[in-house]
Structure formats: structure tokens, C-alpha cells
Structure 1
Amino acid sequence: MSPLIKVGHFQTLDLSAENQVTIQDELYGNHTISDLVLNELLRSPSLARLIGVRQHGISSLLNFTPPITRFEHSVGAMLLVRHVGGNLEEQVAALLHDVSHTAMSHVVDFALSEPGEGSFHEVHKMRFVRTTQIPEILTKHGYKDLKPLDEELYPLVEMPTPHLCADRLDYGLRDAVGFDSLSLEDARRVIASLDVFPDATSPGRLLVLRDPEVALSLAKGYMRCDRDVWGNPSHGSLYTRTAELMRTSIRGGGVREEDLWRLSDDEFWAEMRKVVDSKGQEAMDRLESEDLPDGKDLPLPRGAKVRTIDPDVYDLSSGKAVPLSTLRPEYSTEREQYIVARRALYA
């Protein structure tokens, strides 16, 4: 990596100093990272390859969504954990939580995952990590048990839906601003309102927002992201069509499964072009030349999630963290109606 590099749609790294990394992020501002383990991980090829992996897979490769990368999201999750006082181990876990994402991101789930199986990158995380220098880096800095690779052990990093966590909040904010579902100013208000309940070290700690109006704007922006992109049948059609090409290319032996972790999105797309038959070439041509499909009569793929959140809010009157839906019953109704309507679109 060169000393100054654009690593995503919202983020640049300055690597000119040997023992520190300066992160310039439009959402979170500028941060200088001097922790040795974070420095080494941020400079490692295994993490740097995520610069070439877009969050939205084929939708972004075809320029229907902005080129937000898995790298900038991983760094953003780390910055969120750091912002609320999470310890160094939690920051490492946040930085590494998506390290095993493949080219085309979640498109691979539609291509290779079995029904009922988790996301491909989660199922095969250790398979990939064992081929990298990450275990050596973690062991060198005292994490001999490789615990930070299990992000679910860290509630600030991963929490079940519909709660907030650094992973869900960072990709939600980054995408919401990228999709014009939330203004950059509103995203920064969310970050400013963010806190931990009851504190950053309690076992059952939760990411909470102090302002219910900010929480409501976030929740509605997140729902718009799902309606417009994540759970939009038009984008789902791109995913399933691309997944069929990926499945054929890999299972036919033309592309190796290991290439999913070796190649960027663009490189993987080019590699598929070399190996697909004439029918596959035509399918790729259509994907590259067509406008975004009209999703009016398209079903939602069975594997597609319906994504909503119900952020926890610190309630001054009770001194407790309560779901936004409790404080704003109208949001509870809106969310439930949205989920029912989206599930009705399943194929």
C-alpha cells in the first residue's frame, strides 16, 4: 500500500508514519491509531485485500450503488468501538469481523451456501484465516487463543438484530449516507448521540442512543436502505443472476474457490469472463448493459433478509435502556407492517 491511499467511498488512510496510521473518515473524522497490533493489522495484505471488495457486490460493481468497501466498513466498526470506550481487544475484533469476506460479498451466499447455512464468509472464516499471517500477528501481540476472531464474544461488535452493534451501525450509517437515505449531518448526529449502557465494561453492555429523535431518524433511514437496496427485488435479481454465473464457474472448475479470497471484485468478474460459455458471456453482457431491473413484478429471493433495527435508547425517566419502539409506538407499528409487506415478496 502507498503512504496515502483511498480505501473506500468515505475513507482514506495515511501510512507515511512507521508506527501509526491516520484514518480520515467522512463520518467519524480524523483518527490517529498508534496501537501496535492495530497498526500491523491495518497494513497487512489479508486486510488490505478488502479494499477491492465492495459491500454491495454486483450492485456496486455495476455502479448502481457507491463503491463502499469492506475495508472501510471494518475500520469504521473499529472506530465506533473505540469511540464508545471499547478496549483494545474489542477494537481488534471489530477490525477483523469481516476479514473473510469474499469477492462479490454476499452474492457468494446465493451461489454457494446451502439452505439454512450461515453467510459463506462466516462459515469459512477460519479456513481463510489459517492461510494468512493474521494468527501470527495476533499471537505476537498476546492473543494466542485467537479470541478476537470470534466477534460474537464482543457485544459492542456483534449483537442479534434488532439491537445496535458496531457492525450493524457502521454499515447502516455508511450505506444510508451513500444511498441518500440519511444526510451526512444526520449520520454524524447519530455518532454524537451514541453511548454504552450501563458502561463500556459491563458484560451485558448495549450500544444506545441518548436522543430518541436521532434514534428514530436512524431507524427510518435504515429501513429505507432495506427498501431501496438491501431488500429490493431489483438488486436481488442482480444477485441471483450473478450467483448463477459464480456457481457455474466455480463448480465447473474454471474458477477456483480459493480465488474468492485472492481476487478483487473486478478481478473475479474478469476471471469469470474467461471461463464462462457463450450463454454465460451473454448473461454478463446483459448485466453490464442493462439498467437496474424494474422490481415491480420481481420476487424477493428466499435467502434475502428483511433488515430493520429497533435501537435501544437511554430513557432519562427510568434510567434504563429501552427499545425505540417502546418510546415511539408508531414506529413499532410501522416496522411491523414493513416486515410483513417485505416477506410477502418472497419467491
Structure 2
Amino acid sequence: MVVATQPKIFRDPVHGFISLPRDTVLRIVDTKEFQRLRRIRQLGTTSLTYHGGEHSRFAHSLGVYHLFRSIIDRLESIDRCPCSEEILAGELAALLHDVGHGPFSHALEGKLTGKGHEEWTIEATTSEESGIFSVLREIDSSLPERVASIIRGGPTSMLCHHIISSQFDADRMDYLLRDALATGNSIGRFDVDRVLATLDVQQNQLAFGDQYLAEQFIFARYFAYWQIYFHKTTRGFDILFQSIWKRAKWLSAEENL
């Protein structure tokens, strides 16, 4: 019998085929901490406003990984790529950037445990009790801290960090496209293929190669916040959930819960 060595292929509604190397990325995807993201909705309470908005952080994380790889391919083609030893750590940081999200995502972030999702992500990456940490360490003993450093924005890996988390990054590109598709809103869309084809690096950050693409991206983000993320019904449900949680904590403290 021949053991499969070809990448694992996921069919994605936004990006088409997403290819995951079996010896590295897929091993992280198969951990219980990452599989948990299948049960965390990307848009939190927004599905109560837009019934199609029920997609998961799992799908979004795969999309961010895919866009990170696409950006690296573009930068390699113009000789502007970060050092090769940081690419794998950057890929895994892109994959793991949201692994610390809890139920209802941003609506209850920080209110359940007092920690933000970034702190939980770092813990999942560096704690010896984590399955993610175990896999990272098996691949390379230095990988857990290198991945955590990119997520934090450490000085030795700023370009990889900016590709994942900045005003123009793989994270924002994926959620704008994915959330627009899921909610039926065309206003959050932009020409991602043209953006990727014209990317450059300026001052150790990603830069648009065309000012009109920059305008398109900025307006897409503005209208997505207006129509989706800050929709009055969604914000109302966020406040309601926060009030319920505060009440539950108070009753628990009074031993009435």
C-alpha cells in the first residue's frame, strides 16, 4: 500500500481549492484545539441578523492560511520575500491566529475569562498542555516560540506579522470576502486576484501596487462594517448577550445560580 504524501485538499467557497501539507499544516488542523473552531461562528451573533452568516472560525482560518501562502508566492516572484526559515512559522501563525476565540467571538471576548483571544492563542501555541504545542515542537523545537513571536509582532518577524495582522492583511482580506458571501452582501467584496498580483513591500509592510485597489479595499471594509458588523440588530444582540453574562456572574457571586 502507498502512503499518501500529496497535500490535503479542502474545497473552499471563497478561494476554491486550499492545499495543506500533510507533514506540517494538516497536523495542526487535526489537533483538538483547532478542530474546536468548527463550533465557533465567525460572525458571533450576526447570524441572528443575516441567517446565512453561520460559517466558522475554522473556515476563516484556512482562508487566512491560503492567502498568506498566496502573498508569499507573490513576494517570492518579485524577490521581496522574508527569510525562508520564517515562512513556515508565518504559515502556522496565519493558520492559528484565531484559535483563541471563544463562544460568540467578539461579543463576549474578555468577559468570560478576562483574557482576549490573542492571549489565549499565545497560550495554545506555547503551553506544554496544548496539542498544538506538541505538534509544533515535534516539527521543530523552536517553532512554538517563533509562531508566538509572529502573532505578538516580535521585531524579528514584523513582515510576517503584518501579512497576518495590519490595516491591510490576509485576515481582513479573507473575512471581508467570506462574510460578504455568507451574508449575501456584495459591498464587502473586492478584486482579490488583482490585489495579490500587484502586491509589494514598503517599509517592511505590505503595500498596494495600485491606488484604486487600495480605495476599493478601504471602501469594501467601510461598507462591511456599516452593513454587517455594526448592524443595529447585531449590536443589539451583542449588548443583550453581554447583559445576560453580567447578570449570570452576579447571580453566581450571590450563590443564586
Matched residue, 1:181? 186
Q: Do 1:23 and 1:30's aligned partners in 2 also have CA atoms closer than 8 Å?
A: yes
Picking from 166, 169, 183, the partner of 2:170 is 166
Amino acid at match of 1:229: I
Partner secondary structure for residue 156 of structure 1: helix
Picking from 59, 69, 74, the partner of 2:56 is 69
Give the TM-score of the pair, scaled to structure 2.
Answer: 0.75
User: Is residue 2:116 matched to residue 1:120?
Assistant: yes
| Ranges in structure 1 where 5+ consecutive residues have no aligned partner | 1-15, 199-203, 255-275, 278-347
Q: Do 1:112 and 1:247's aligned partners in 2 also have CA atoms closer than 8 Å?
A: no
Q: Measure, in 2, the Cα distance between the counterparts of 1:253 and 1:19.
A: 52
Q: Do 2:44 and 2:107's aligned partners in 1 also have CA atoms closer than 8 Å?
A: yes
Matched residue, 1:340? none
Matched residue, 1:222? 221
Partner secondary structure for residue 108 of structure 2: helix
Task: Decide whether aligned partners of structure 1 residues 222 and 183 sit closer, same or farther in structure 2, where only a CA change above 3 A counts.
Answer: closer
Q: Do 2:124 and 2:132's aligned partners in 1 also have CA atoms closer than 8 Å?
A: no
Matched residue, 1:81? 68
Task: Decide whether aligned partners of structure 1 residues 237 and 143 sit closer, same or farther in structure 2, where only a CA change above 3 A counts.
Answer: farther
Q: What whole-Å deviation, never above 9, does each CA across 1:226-281 have from its counterpart, x for those lacking one?
A: 11121233311110101222343456559xxxxxxxxxxxxxxxxxxxxx98xxxx
Amino acid at match of 1:121: H
User: Is residue 2:204 matched to residue 1:208?
Assistant: no
Q: Do 1:41 and 1:137's aligned partners in 2 also have CA atoms closer than 8 Å?
A: yes
Matched residue, 2:76? none
Give the TM-score of the pair, scaled to structure 1.
Answer: 0.57
Matched residue, 2:158? none
Matched residue, 1:196? 200
Q: Do 1:156 and 1:205's aligned partners in 2 also have CA atoms closer than 8 Å?
A: no
Q: Residues 298-313 of structure 1 correspond to what in structure 2 (within 5 A)? A: none
Q: Measure, in 1, the Cα distance between the counterparts of 2:119 and 2:6.
A: 34
Q: Do 2:9 and 2:20's aligned partners in 1 also have CA atoms closer than 8 Å?
A: yes
| Ranges in structure 2 where 5+ consecutive residues have no aligned partner | 73-80, 82-86, 155-160
Q: Do 1:193 and 1:209's aligned partners in 2 also have CA atoms closer than 8 Å?
A: no
| Percent of residue pairs identical | 20
Q: Do 1:80 and 1:166's aligned partners in 2 also have CA atoms closer than 8 Å?
A: yes
Q: Do 1:77 and 1:94's aligned partners in 2 also have CA atoms closer than 8 Å?
A: yes
Q: How many residues align?
A: 228
Q: Measure, in 1, the Cα distance between the counterparts of 2:59 and 2:105.
A: 14
Q: What whole-Å deviation, never above 9, does each CA across 1:57-108 have from its counterpart, x for those lacking one?
A: 1222665451221111111111111001162211111001111110111111
Larger Rg: 1
Task: Decide whether aligned partners of structure 1 residues 248 and 182 sit closer, same or farther in structure 2, where only a CA change above 3 A counts.
Answer: same
Matched residue, 1:95? 95
Structure with greater contact order relative to length (CA < 8 Å, sep ≥ 6): 2
Q: Measure, in 2, the Cα distance between the counterparts of 1:148 and 1:252.
A: 40
**Structure holding more helix per residue:** 2
Q: Measure, in 1, the Cα distance between the counterparts of 2:165 and 2:251.
A: 36
Q: What whole-Å deviation, never above 9, does each CA across 1:133-157 have from its counterpart, x for those lacking one?
A: 1111111111435221341242211
Q: Measure, in 1, the Cα distance between the counterparts of 2:242 and 2:165.
A: 27
Q: Do 1:22 and 1:30's aligned partners in 2 also have CA atoms closer than 8 Å?
A: yes
Amino acid at match of 2:37: L
Amino acid at match of 1:122: E
Partner secondary structure for residue 100 of structure 2: coil
User: Is residue 2:238 matched to residue 1:242?
Assistant: no
Q: Measure, in 1, the Cα distance between the counterparts of 2:6 and 2:106.
A: 34
